[in-house]
Amino acid sequence: MKAADGKTMTIGISVDGASIAAYTCNGTDDEAWFFGNQTDGRLDIKSRFHDALKAEFTGSDVAGDLTMNGVGYTFTAAPVSGAAGMYTADFEGVRASWVVRQDGSAMGVQFKGGISGRDFEQADRPAREQIGTLQHQRP
């Protein structure tokens, strides 16, 4: 997705019943994790750092708006399958998170040490395990 100022973000959204996990990043130095619930196909959730994700299920797609650091983005995310999805890994003080698109390309960010306070840490263990079940993502 692209903002009016030319900035781009990639988004992945995982839906498991009413539970939602979403990840968005610019591929270099900015990311946000969102955890919450959808009601009647609508979601309105904020990241730990007050980024906002508002979206609605429209048939098989998810359409909505993302605001990160005061920059607004509009998106439509189509369903994906196979290896497409959201992923995260921690190893020896390095944490990486990324979205794999349906075509196999990926976008993500990696942080070394000092990850305390990042959005991802607000998730509990069951939510982390559900992240690999991505059903909707921006291609």
Model confidence pLDDT, tens digit, residues 35-93: 999 999 999 999 988 999 999 998 889 999 999 988 899 999 888 888 888 888 888 87
Quick check: 23 and 137 in contact, CB under 8 A? no
Provide DSSP, 61-81: EEEEEEEETTEEEEEEEEE--
The alpha carbon of residue 101 and the mean position of all alpha carbons in its chain are separated, in whole angstroms, by: 12
Residue boundaries of the structural domains of the chain: 10-137
- 0.85 cut: is pTM over it? no
2/17 Cα distance (integer angstroms): 29
Q: What is the mean pLDDT of residues 90-110?
A: 87
